[in-house]
């Protein structure tokens, strides 16, 4: 078990290193000059040269990449030995060209909003999707099943910006059942936090629960035809015990895999959701960075998203192993 976890962590670190190298190359080697971008519009060649020296962009690319990796793990010192020496604590991802603020600080300030969206929405869409899928499978062929499948297909075909604006108009503007979306720290006011995040949660759950409902239904229908399920019924077990203890249990592991990937991706930044509802999360930060060509922030958000996905995959593998005893770790 421990050996497997170590192997998965090592593999994850390797993936992150490759992603870091690719992102570093794309944004620091290709056409745009980071020193000129950091300098702004009114800039002289002398000032560009000074900025290039300050950011250590005048060093060979392998040395730049090595110092970047070092900064992530142990921190980094700019202009070491000079009066303008600047210490960047680990994990150091550099400084924003637009605000001169630490990229790590920017990411950590935006993370709670994205975390609030991801956790709340994922719990809601998983519960709704499971419930809908189980009912459809048990009532296969009835009007309930047909309605559920039609609704799931319609929901899966819609876009979040369309559904979000429609729900905001109905639930916030007309019926006034929910508060206008935004982010308030749950430590300041838990009730206001839940009310302000309810609309993004409902919107994401409306769209993504349809996928889980269809996966649950398909998995349960397939499992219901297995020999051991027929044997359980022949032994006189109640339909409730058969469906929930035996059939649903076989469906959960594949759903965990999909759920882990979706959650990891959402934690990396719910770009459209945050943009539609004007929530200051990682997704909105990344769009702002792209619009302003703020390379350090772009690199930071990409690495943050990659880290969440890698960690989510490791956790999914461990949970899958716990749920399915047939899985053997190699």
Tell me: the pLDDT tens digits for 210-263? 889 999 999 999 988 888 888 888 888 888 888 888 888 888 888 888 888 888
pLDDT at 329 over 60: no
Residue count (the chain): 330
54-68, 165-179, 219-233: least confident range: 54-68
Across the chain, the runs of DSSP E, i.e. the strands, are: 76-78, 86-88
Q: What confidence score (pLDDT) does residue 273 get? A: 87
Would you say 66 and 264 are in contact if contact means Cβ atoms under 8 Å apart? no
Query: Residue 293 — very low, low, confident or very high, per pLDDT cuts 50/70/90?
Result: confident
- pLDDT score, position 67: 84
pLDDT confidence of residue 175? 87
Decide if pLDDT at 83 tops 70: no
Band of the pLDDT at 106, cuts 50, 70, 90?
Answer: very high
Confidence of residue 200 (pLDDT cuts 50, 70, 90): very high
Task: Give me the residue spans of the domains in the chain.
Answer: 35-92, 109-323
Mean pLDDT of the chain: 84
210 burial class (0-12, 13-18, 19+ CB within 10 angstroms)?
buried
Handedness of CA 153, 155, 161, 162 (dihedral sign): positive
Q: What is the pLDDT of residues 131-140, one digit of tens each?
A: 999 999 988 8
Domain spanning 109-323, CATH class: mainly alpha
Handedness of CA 233, 239, 243, 245 (dihedral sign): negative
Q: Which residue has the higher pLDDT, 6 or 30?
A: 6
How far is the C-alpha of 111 from the C-alpha of 267, rounded, in Å?
Answer: 8
With bands split at pLDDT 50, 70 and 90, how would you rate the model's confidence at 28?
Answer: low
Reported as a pLDDT band with limits 50, 70 and 90, residue 128 is very high
User: HSE-up of 15 (CA within 13 Å, CB side)?
Assistant: 18
The reported pTM is 0.83
Across residues 307-323, what is the average pLDDT?
Answer: 83
For residue 206, pLDDT beyond 60:
yes
């Amino acid at each position: 078990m421990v050996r497997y976890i170590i192997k998965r962590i090592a593999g994850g670190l390797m993936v992150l290193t490759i992603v870091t190298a690719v992102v570093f190359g794309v944004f620091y080697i290709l056409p745009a000059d980071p020193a000129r971008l950091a300098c702004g519009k009114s800039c002289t060649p002398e000032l560009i040269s000074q900025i290039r020296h300050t950011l250590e962009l005048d060093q060979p690319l392998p040395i730049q990449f090595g110092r970047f990796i070092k900064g992530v793990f142990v921190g980094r010192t700019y202009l070491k030995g000079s009066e303008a020496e600047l210490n960047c604590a680990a994990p150091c991802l550099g400084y924003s060209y637009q605000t001169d603020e630490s990229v790590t600080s920017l990411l950590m300030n935006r993370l709670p909003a994205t975390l609030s969206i991801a956790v709340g929405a994922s719990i809601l869409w998983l519960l709704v999707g499971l419930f809908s899928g189980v009912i459809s499978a048990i009532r296969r062929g009835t009007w309930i099943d047909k309605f559920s499948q039609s609704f799931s297909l319609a929901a899966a075909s819609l876009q979040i910006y369309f559904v979000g604006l429609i729900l905001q108009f109905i639930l916030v503007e007309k019926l006034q059942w929910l508060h206008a979306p935004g982010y308030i720290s749950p430590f300041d006011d838990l009730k206001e936090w839940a009310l302000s995040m309810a609309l993004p949660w409902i919107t994401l759950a409306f769209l993504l629960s349809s996928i889980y409902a269809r996966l649950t239904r398909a998995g349960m229908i397939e499992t219901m035809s297995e020999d051991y399920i027929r044997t359980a019924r022949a032994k006189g077990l109640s339909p409730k015990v058969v469906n929930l203890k035996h059939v649903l249990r076989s469906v959960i592991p594949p759903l965990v895999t999909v759920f882990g990937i979706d959650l990891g991706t959402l934690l990396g930044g719910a770009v459209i959701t945050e943009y539609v509802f004007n929530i200051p999360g990682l997704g909105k930060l990344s769009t702002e960075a792209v619009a302003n060509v703020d390379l350090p922030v772009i690199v930071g958000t990409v690495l943050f998203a990659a880290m969440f996905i890698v960690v989510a995959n490791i956790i999914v593998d461990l949970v899958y192993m716990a749920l399915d005893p047939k899985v053997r770790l190699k």
